[in-house]
């Protein structure tokens, strides 16, 4: 085989792995969405579906890991190709953990379904959930298109989500203080908000891997401003 042929095969293998990551990401997006709906609507059946679907996400993580190792061993990639594979290995760890958070929300939803509904119909969770879902979608999109500007834009959302989460926590504390009979329900709602906030963290990690892959610089553990400077070469 000539080099061109080998390189074409290599690119096809990489595309195949990337597609699998997107499948995994899509599964997790659906699970996050369903977990939020299950919680807000008190839908036990939907909550159970999310809990039962998580094994598919886990299986994909294991299989993609294995495939990445095989590509490294067989193709011995260097520089940007190797960086892409390492990015995938790190990304799927975060996607898998987003799946775990969705499962946790679904379990909370099942517990909450039997309790009295709050007057505001979990408005805070809905609001935070919508924002987090958009951020997750955008991070996977930035990954798929290896779009550094989109990744930067998306990573910056995490601070807003953190602020919304903090506001939601303050409101929930007030609810607990008003009436101790609320404690159990509010606490489950709090854990769910916490899980959403963590999904935002994982989405931010995915964005950072994208920037890392494209620029070859490690932008983790830097501020958003530093990240923008690094990524845009300013």
Residues in contact with its own copies by CB under 8 A are: 55, 58-59, 61-62, 65-66, 69, 72-73, 76, 78-79, 82-83, 86, 89-90, 93, 173, 176-177, 180, 183-184, 187, 194, 218, 220-221
> Closer to its own copies at the Cβ: 134 or 198?
198
Nearer to its own copies, 6 or 69 (CB): 69
Instruction: Give Rg (Cα) of the chain.
Output: 20
Distance, CA of 32 to CA of 132 (rounded, Å): 9
As given in the structure block, the two tokens for residue 92 are 């799927």
Q: Which is nearer to its own copies, 22 or 176 (CB)?
A: 176
Q: How far is C-alpha 98 from the chain's CA centre?
A: 5
CB of 40 to its own copies, least distance (A): 23
Q: Which CB sits closer to its own copies, 61 or 147?
A: 61
Residue 60: CB minimum distance to its own copies, A: 10
Task: Please give the backbone phi and psi of residue 2, each rounded to the nearest 5 degrees, phi first.
Answer: -80, 170
**Residue 67 Cβ, how far from its own copies at the closest point, in Å?**
12
Kind and range of the H or E element at 5? helix 3-41
Grouping H, G, I as helix, E, B as strand and the rest as coil, residue 1 is coil
Q: How far is the CB of 226 from its own copies (least distance, A)?
A: 13
140: Cα within 13 Å, side-chain hemisphere:
24
- Name the minimum Å distance from CB 179 to its own copies: 9
Nearer to its own copies, 40 or 68 (CB): 68
* CB-CB contact of 96 with 61 (8 Å): yes
**What backbone phi and psi angles, to 5 degrees, belong to 180?**
-65, -15
Q: How far apart are the first and last CA of the chain?
A: 43
Closest contact distance (angstroms) between CB of 206 and its own copies is: 13
| Residue among 54 and 150 whose Cβ is closer to its own copies | 54
């Amino acid at each position: 085989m000539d080099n061109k042929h080998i390189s074409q095969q290599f690119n096809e293998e990489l595309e195949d792995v990337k597609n699998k990551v997107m499948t995994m990401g899509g599964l997790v997006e659906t699970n996050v969405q369903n977990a939020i709906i299950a919680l807000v609507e008190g839908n036990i059946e939907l909550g159970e579906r999310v809990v039962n679907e998580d094994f598919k996400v886990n299986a994909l993580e294991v299989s993609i890991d294995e495939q990445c190792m095989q590509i490294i061993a067989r193709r011995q990639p260097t520089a940007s190709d190797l960086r892409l594979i390492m990015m995938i290995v790190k990304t799927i760890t975060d996607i898998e953990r987003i799946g775990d958070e969705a499962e946790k929300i679904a379990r909370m939803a099942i517990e909450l379904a039997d309790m009295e509904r709050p007057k505001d119909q979990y408005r805070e969770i809905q609001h935070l959930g919508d924002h987090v879902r958009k951020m997750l979608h955008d991070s996977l999109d930035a990954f798929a298109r290896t779009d550094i500007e989109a990744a930067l834009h998306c990573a910056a959302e995490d601070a807003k989500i953190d602020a919304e989460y903090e506001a939601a926590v303050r409101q929930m504390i007030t609810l607990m203080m008003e009436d101790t009979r609320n404690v159990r329900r509010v606490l489950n709602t709090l854990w769910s908000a916490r899980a959403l906030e963590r999904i935002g963290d994982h989405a931010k990690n995915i964005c950072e891997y994208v920037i890392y892959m494209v620029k070859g610089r490690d932008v983790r553990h830097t501020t958003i401003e530093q990240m923008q400077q690094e990524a845009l070469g300013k």
